[in-house]
Amino acid sequence: MKKTFPLILLMIFGIFGILPSFLPHPVIQGIDSFVLNDLMRIISAFALVLGLGSLLRVHFEKIQRHAENWPYSWILVIAFFVTSIIGLFGGVSGHGILPTHIGSFPFDIQTIYLRMEVPLGGTMFALLAFFMASASYRAFRARSTEATLLLSAAFVVMIGILPLGDRISHRLPAFAQWIMDLPLVAGQRGIGFGIALGGLATELKIILGIERSWLGGAE
Partner 1 sequence: MTFIERLTAIDRRIIYLIIALVTLLPMLFPIAQKVRVMSPVDKCFNAVDTIHADKALIIDFDYTPQDMPELEPMAFAMLRHTFTRRIKILVLCLYVQPLGLAQSALDQISAEFNARAQSNADSIIYGRDYVFLGWQPPPLVPIIGMGESIIRVYPRDYYGNQTDTLPLMKRIKNYGNVELLVSLSSSSIPGSWLQYAQNRFGLKVSAGVTSVSAGDFYPFLQSGQFSGLVVGMKGAAEYEELLTRKLNFHTRRKAGESLSSITFAHLAIILFIIIGNIGFFMKRRKK
Partner 2 sequence: MILSHDVWTWIGALLSLAIFSFLYKDNPFYKTAEHIFVGITNGYAVTFYWHNILVPVLFNPLFRGRLILIIPLIIGALYFTRFIPKVSWMVRIPIGITIGYYTGVSIPANIEANIVKQVQGTILSPANFRAWHAGSWGILWSVLLFIGVLCVVSYFYFSREHKGLLKLTSRIGIVFIMIGFGAAFGYTVMGRISLLIGRLNFLFGNWLGIIK
Binders of partner 1 in range 32-71 (CB under 8 A): 33, 36-37, 40-41, 44-45
Write down the least CB distance from residue 25 to partner 1, Å: 14
Interface pick for partner 1 out of 8, 18, 23, 142 (rule CB under 8 A): 142
Determine if 158 is a binding residue for partner 2 (CB under 8 A): yes
Determine if 202 is a binding residue for partner 1 (CB under 8 A): no
Determine if 114 is a binding residue for partner 1 (CB under 8 A): yes
Determine if 140 is a binding residue for partner 1 (CB under 8 A): yes
In one letter, which amino acid is 172?
L
Determine if 21 is a binding residue for partner 2 (CB under 8 A): yes
The three-state DSSP-derived secondary structure of the chain is: CCCHHHHHHHHHHHHHHHHHHHCCCHHHHHHHHHHHHHHHHHHHHHHHHHHHHHHHHHHHHHHHHCCCCHHHHHHHHHHHHHHHHHHHHHCCCCCCCCCCEECCEECCHHHHHHHHHHHHHHHHHHHHHHHHHHHHHHHCCCCCHHHHHHHHHHHHHHHHCCHHHHHHCCHHHHHHHHHHHHHHHHHHHHHHHHHHHHHHHHHHHHHCCCCCHHHCCCC
Cβ-contact 136, 155 below 8 angstroms:
no
Write down the least CB distance from residue 63 to partner 2, Å: 12
Query: Alpha-carbon torsion 129, 131, 133, 135, what sign?
Result: negative
Rounded to a whole number of angstroms, the CA Rg of the chain reads 26
Interface pick for partner 1 out of 90, 100, 173, 207 (rule CB under 8 A): 173
Determine if 136 is a binding residue for partner 1 (CB under 8 A): yes
String marking each residue 169-208 x if it binds partner 2 according to CB under 8 A: -------x--xxxxxxxxxxxxxxxxxxx-xx--xx-xx-
Residues 46-105 that bind partner 2 (CB under 8 A): 46-50, 52-53, 55, 69, 72-73, 75-84, 86-88, 91-92, 105
Write down the least CB distance from residue 77 to partner 1, Å: 20
Determine if 111 is a binding residue for partner 2 (CB under 8 A): yes
Which residues would be at the binding site for partner 1 (CB under 8 A)? 21, 29, 33, 36-37, 40-41, 44-45, 92-93, 110, 113-114, 117-122, 124-125, 129-130, 132-134, 136-138, 140-142, 151, 155, 158-159, 161-164, 166, 173, 177, 180-181, 184-185, 188-189, 192
